[in-house]
Amino acid sequence: MEEIRDTKVSEGAPVSRRVRISDLADALGLTKSTVSRALNNYSDIAPETRRRVAEMAAKMGYAPMPYAQAVRTGRVRALGLVLEIDAPDRYGPFLAEFLGGITQEASLEGWTLTVASSSSREEMEATVTRLLQEHKVDGFILPRTRVADHRVDFLRAKHVPFVLYGRTGYGGPEHGLSWFDVDGGQAMRAAVLRLAGLGHRRIGFVGYAEEYNFALLRRDGYREGLAEAGLPLDPSLERLGVINRADGMRATEELLDLPDPPTAIVFSTDMTALGAYDAARARGITIGRDLSVIGYDGIPDGRMIDPPLTSFAVDSRQAGERLAALLIAQLRGAPAENLRELVEARLQPGGSDGPPVTT
Amino acid sequence: MEEIRDTKVSEGAPVSRRVRISDLADALGLTKSTVSRALNNYSDIAPETRRRVAEMAAKMGYAPMPYAQAVRTGRVRALGLVLEIDAPDRYGPFLAEFLGGITQEASLEGWTLTVASSSSREEMEATVTRLLQEHKVDGFILPRTRVADHRVDFLRAKHVPFVLYGRTGYGGPEHGLSWFDVDGGQAMRAAVLRLAGLGHRRIGFVGYAEEYNFALLRRDGYREGLAEAGLPLDPSLERLGVINRADGMRATEELLDLPDPPTAIVFSTDMTALGAYDAARARGITIGRDLSVIGYDGIPDGRMIDPPLTSFAVDSRQAGERLAALLIAQLRGAPAENLRELVEARLQPGGSDGPPVTT
């Protein structure tokens, strides 16, 4: 931490020493403890005393250390996170791990996390503006990068540092952006190759909403896997815009109702893959035997279900830690475009995939 | 919002006007925009310029509005939430809703939320101390009240305002505390009466870890329900310390293995009630017919499972909103002991409870 310097000078005089709580106490005829408690607005100090202390603090130019430091550095050492509370799946079961990662890493560096929420673009922009105006945040972590991401445009226009959870670059410019991402495309490719290796020739894909960058990257990974396995691309085997478990069930039923149905399906999220179990139960077929399924995320529900879901697990705690570390590095002056990290998801084998039934 | 007053005076002189960004700009020969961006540490301003601006700001006693206000009021208008990242169930699926409720309510009042995390008592205390010393938080929201809650003792000793999610008072003093709670005991009582009304005479109870106040309150509610229904209390039908789904499965199996097993079980959480479905599947019995089950929380997984779980639903968004409102009221001067709210959980009927099978 940098040294705190004096913040007040007499007109034209050399820099004087910082006003301390003991100075306020002397001036007011109160104990240091009472002054400190009054400044912190403790309820056991009478309102009148709190008012007197506040007025004297203002008069003498008293500023607590962090404010003094903030004035000098322009920083409050706070990361900002604006949650989109109407996100379709409400961040699933990852949020606690993700926040744990951010806050632990921030804490190690002496930073904190300010969380806000918004339910619309307008509210997000108003919230970000307020957090900046009130000096409550130095930079932002943006979850879930979109293909056309208005948050990126908004923060760049304001020259506010930020880091994205998820690459940009699907049809948009990448210049000067900082991000952390898990390579979902690579996982989808590996899932297809795994299924092809088991003997599957008709492999379906069920993807998320295409406004999100990761949904398109995963779809591309699936297609690369098909190409690499020498399997033809059949658009009728692809579904996008599948968000929740009920959607996943419907998409599975649609694929199974095709004239030449798939024997295996790769899902871009575990939550939607659980819908395949619902579809299988409804038809009396068995996951892992009659239909092979591979998911992505590694959620606890996938391990509890029978048979356990084969998935590519994402470490949400690590994601939070790395995003905090990258943003702090950027706020300390590292160029944003040097702050990019891509990690791989980890295969978590279950019992939901096996060789196709030969009929 | 209160009026911002001047924070700097010349020695002995009448209060002078606050130093403005335009004053810094004039003194430095820079534009106001450049000064503002330098103070906010924008990366398009050269480091040397940022340093010059920061030094002049310190020399002239410039303080941005919020700091000036904070100096005067001792407040930064930030609520604090310290998540226990090693909590056994990681706050389940409620966290996003809960945070959404807190941040939306705080935002309406012009406050923000600072989130930290800790994995031990020592870390929690160090984190709280740092947040207070750095003036990053005015008061705390404490989730999951414990029977012996060290956080309460710690914050009271520091005279820091806080509000609890969950009543205290199970064997401990209640004086002067502010809380919001959902009446889980009342829900457990209603669950027993509902099952008794269906004809069940042997009703088991599966409860959470008894270090948590709510676990004991729910157990008491179960016992009250039995007494009200005229059913005897049989300690062999009670289990405590049941945290997750696997525990719930084991507890169900233990109860079903009793010489005189229950025909219905009330679970203090939905997550553990889902374990009863696993136990039922393993034994080839049917939930809702061979075994009746009622849960508590209203989690999405309970609505997805077959048959849907009858549960008492908690509104986590409302909980977040009310906790934020109560803490802000307290920070504005309302006596903590007047700030208590108890609401009821809402019955969400499913297909998991029915009349007992007569053999």
Judged by average pLDDT, the poorest of A212-221, B35-44, B281-290 is B35-44
Chain Cα centroid distance, residue A248? 23
d(CA A24, CA A53) in angstroms, rounded, equals 8
Give B141's strand partners: B81, B163
> Please, are residues A92 and A107 in contact by the beta-carbon 8 Å criterion?
no
Contact A66 B333 (CB under 8 A): no
List Cα–Cα distances, A285 to A246, A278, A307, A354, B179, in angstroms: 18, 10, 13, 14, 50
Kindly compute the dihedral angle of the four CA atoms of residues B129, B133, B138, B140, in this order, to the nearest 10 degrees.
-10
pLDDT score, position B9: 30
Q: State the fold for domain B78-182+316-343.
A: Rossmann fold (3.40.50)
Contacts of A83 in chain B (CB under 8 A): 96, 99-100, 103
pLDDT score, position B1: 33
Contacts of A14 in chain B (CB under 8 A): none
> Matching CATH topology for A78-182+316-342 and A184-314?
yes
d(CA B99, CA A93) in angstroms, rounded, equals 14
Of A93, A116, A159, Cβ closest to residue B103: A116
How sure is the predictor about B189, in pLDDT bands with cuts at 50, 70 and 90? very high
Chain B nearest-CA residue for A135: B66
Q: Answer whether A257 touches B (CB < 8 Å).
A: no
Give B112's strand partners: B78
Higher pLDDT, A197 or A57: A197
Q: How many CB atoms lie within 10 A of CB A69?
A: 22
Specify the pairing of strand A346-348 against strand B112-118.
Answer: unpaired
Q: Cα distance from A331 to chain B (closest Cα, Å)?
A: 8
Q: Cα distance from A293 to chain B (closest Cα, Å)?
A: 19
- Give, for B313, the enclosing helix (H) or strand (E): strand B310-313
> E strands within A34-172?
78-84, 112-118, 139-143, 162-165
Judged by average pLDDT, the poorest of A24-38, B217-231, B237-251 is A24-38
Q: Cα distance from A107 to chain B (closest Cα, Å)?
A: 8
Contact B333 A138 (CB under 8 A): no
How sure is the predictor about B3, in pLDDT bands with cuts at 50, 70 and 90? very low
- B21-73 is classed in which CATH architecture? Orthogonal Bundle (1.10)
Q: Answer whether A38 touches B (CB < 8 Å).
A: yes
Q: Answer whether A57 touches B (CB < 8 Å).
A: yes
Side-chain half-sphere of B163: how many Cα atoms within 13 Å? 31
Q: Model confidence over A247-283: pLDDT tens digits?
A: 999 999 999 999 999 999 999 999 999 999 999 999 9
pLDDT score, position A95: 85
Specify the pairing of strand B346-348 against strand B310-313.
Answer: antiparallel
Q: Cα distance from A276 to chain B (closest Cα, Å)?
A: 13
Contacts of A42 in chain B (CB under 8 A): 159-160
Contact A66 B127 (CB under 8 A): no
Contact B159 A42 (CB under 8 A): yes
Contacts of B59 in chain A (CB under 8 A): 9, 15
pLDDT score, position A233: 97
Name the 3-class secondary structure at A352: coil
Question: Which is nearest to B97 in space by CA: A243, A93, A247, A297?
Answer: A93
> Please, are residues A58 and B6 in contact by the beta-carbon 8 Å criterion?
yes
How sure is the predictor about B41, in pLDDT bands with cuts at 50, 70 and 90? low
Question: Which is nearest to A138 in space by CA: A168, A119, A165, A110?
Answer: A110
Q: Answer whether B63 touches A (CB < 8 Å).
A: yes
Contacts of A277 in chain B (CB under 8 A): none
- What's the complex ipTM? 0.72
- Give, for B311, the enclosing helix (H) or strand (E): strand B310-313
Contacts of A96 in chain B (CB under 8 A): 83, 85, 87, 90-91, 95
d(CA B19, CA B59) in angstroms, rounded, equals 11
What is the mean pLDDT of the segment spanning A178-201? 97
B-contacting residues of A 206-235, CB under 8 Å? none
A-contacting residues of B 117-156, CB under 8 Å? 117, 119, 127, 130-136, 138
pLDDT score, position B349: 98
d(CA B304, CA B347) in angstroms, rounded, equals 17
Question: Which is nearest to B161 in space by CA: B1, B328, B319?
Answer: B328
What is the mean pLDDT of the segment spanning B235-243? 96
Of B61, B83, B131, Cβ closest to residue A61: B61
Kindly compute the dihedral angle of the four CA atoms of residues B38, B41, B43, B45, in this order, to the nearest 10 degrees.
10
Q: Answer whether A89 touches B (CB < 8 Å).
A: no
d(CA B46, CA B50) in angstroms, rounded, equals 6
Structure-token pair, residue B43: 């990366």
Q: Answer whether B199 touches A (CB < 8 Å).
A: no
CATH number, domain B184-314: 3.40.50.2300
pLDDT score, position B137: 94
pLDDT score, position A251: 98
Average pLDDT, chain B: 87
Contact B66 A136 (CB under 8 A): yes
Structure-token pair, residue A280: 């299988």
pLDDT of B17 higher than 80: no
> Please, are residues A38 and A49 in contact by the beta-carbon 8 Å criterion?
yes
Side-chain half-sphere of A70: how many Cα atoms within 13 Å? 27
Contact B78 A331 (CB under 8 A): no
DSSP code string of A190-235: HHHHHHHHTT-S-EEEE---TTBHHHHHHHHHHHHHHHHHTPPP-G
List Cβ neighbours of B321 (8 Å cut-off, separation of 6 or more): B101, B102, B104, B105
A-B CB pairs within 8 A amount to 208
Q: Model confidence over B113-137: pLDDT tens digits?
A: 999 988 888 888 989 998 988 889 9
For chain B, the structural domain boundaries read: 21-73, 78-182+316-343, 184-314
Give 3-state DSSP helix, strand, coil % of chain A, rounded to 5.
Answer: 45, 15, 40
Structure-token pair, residue A106: 């921030």
In the DSSP assignment, the letter for residue B61 is: T
List Cα–Cα distances, B248 to A155, B26, B295, in angstroms: 47, 70, 11
d(CA B179, CA B166) in angstroms, rounded, equals 6
Contacts of B67 in chain A (CB under 8 A): 63, 67, 70-71, 135
Contact A72 B57 (CB under 8 A): yes
Contacts of B122 in chain A (CB under 8 A): none
- Please provide residue A34's backbone torsions phi and psi, each rounded to the nearest 5 degrees: -65, -40
> Please, are residues B2 and B69 in contact by the beta-carbon 8 Å criterion?
yes
List Cβ neighbours of B156 (8 Å cut-off, separation of 6 or more): none
Contacts of B331 in chain A (CB under 8 A): 41
- Tokens 């010059």 belong to B52
Chain Cα centroid distance, residue B92? 12
Burial label, A284 (beta-carbon count in 10 A; 0-12, 13-18, 19+): exposed
d(CA A146, CA A306) in angstroms, rounded, equals 34
| Interface residue of A135, A316, A328 to substitute, partner B, most B CBs within 10 Å | A135
The one-letter amino acid at B316: S
Using N-to-C axis directions, what is the helix angle for A95-108 and B95-108, rounded to 10°?
60
Question: Which is nearest to A38 in space by CA: A55, A13, A26?
Answer: A55
Name the 3-class secondary structure at B163: strand
Q: How many CB atoms lie within 10 A of CB A50?
A: 21
Chain B nearest-CA residue for A84: B100
pLDDT score, position A8: 33
Q: Does domain A78-182+316-342 have CATH number 3.40.50.2300?
A: yes
Q: Answer whether A283 touches B (CB < 8 Å).
A: no
- Give, for A267, the enclosing helix (H) or strand (E): strand A264-267
d(CA B223, CA B188) in angstroms, rounded, equals 9
Judged by average pLDDT, the poorest of A108-122, A128-142, A181-195, B38-52 is B38-52
Higher pLDDT, A47 or B180: B180
d(CA B84, CA B99) in angstroms, rounded, equals 14
Q: Cα distance from B107 to chain A (closest Cα, Å)?
A: 8
Q: Model confidence over A72-90: pLDDT tens digits?
A: 566 889 999 998 877 666 5
pLDDT score, position B50: 81
Contacts of B303 in chain A (CB under 8 A): none
